[in-house]
Amino acid sequence: MPEIYLASSSPRRRELLGQIKLPHQILTMEVDETLPPGIPPAEQVLTLSRRKALAAAEKLDAGIVIAADTVVALDEIVLGKPRNAAEALDMLERLQGKAHEVFSGITLLKIPGNRVLSDYERTEVIMRRAGRAELARYIATGEPMDKAGAYGIQGLAAVFVTGIKGCYYNVVGLPVAKLVTMLREFGINVTACWG
């Protein structure tokens, strides 16, 4: 099996690859995540995951790169990572009592040959209404500060989520079933790594 590289500094993505026992190495790099305004969320995550994969590929001679990007969108407006507590509160207040969407783009890039495969997953998340004091307590934990939409479904924010439609792992940051299907197209059977 070729070496697999996860082009991400996200601890959640690392944990998910570990959970499915996929041997991999971490490649972290900074990429420009600036995009023109008005790009739909699905296109944003595809563009940024491709950008990350290409940046990682420049550092390698051989292997398969996995790159991902996740955004939270409310009425097609993307909510990124909050820059401060006030922005986190604003985002969380906007999400209360509504359904929103989480999009994750995945790009696989095989070197040599630069074969690229990109796809995305969409999941709907429904949050209950929560008071400002409850949201402030959540923000004070620090958990929202490195997460798109200012919450982590796998953490303390689980108390706010009343339902999802679609892939749970997509909301965490890496749609595992979609990734496994994409890896098969590159000749990698993840379950074969279990033996």
Catalytic residues: 69
3-state secondary structure the chain: CCCEEECCCCHHHHHHHHHCCCCCEECCCCCCCCCCCCCCHHHHHHHHHHHHHHHHHCCCCCEEEEEEEEEEEECCEEECCCCCHHHHHHHHHHHCCCEEEEEEEEEEEEECCCEEEEEEEEEEEEECCCCHHHHHHHHHCCHHHHCHHHCCCCCHHHHCEEEEECCHHHHHCCCHHHHHHHHHCCCCCHHHHHC
Count of residues making up the chain: 195
Whether omega for the bond prior to residue 2 falls within 30 degrees of 0, making it cis, is no
First to last CA, the chain: 14
Distance of alpha carbon 39 from alpha carbon 48, whole angstroms: 12
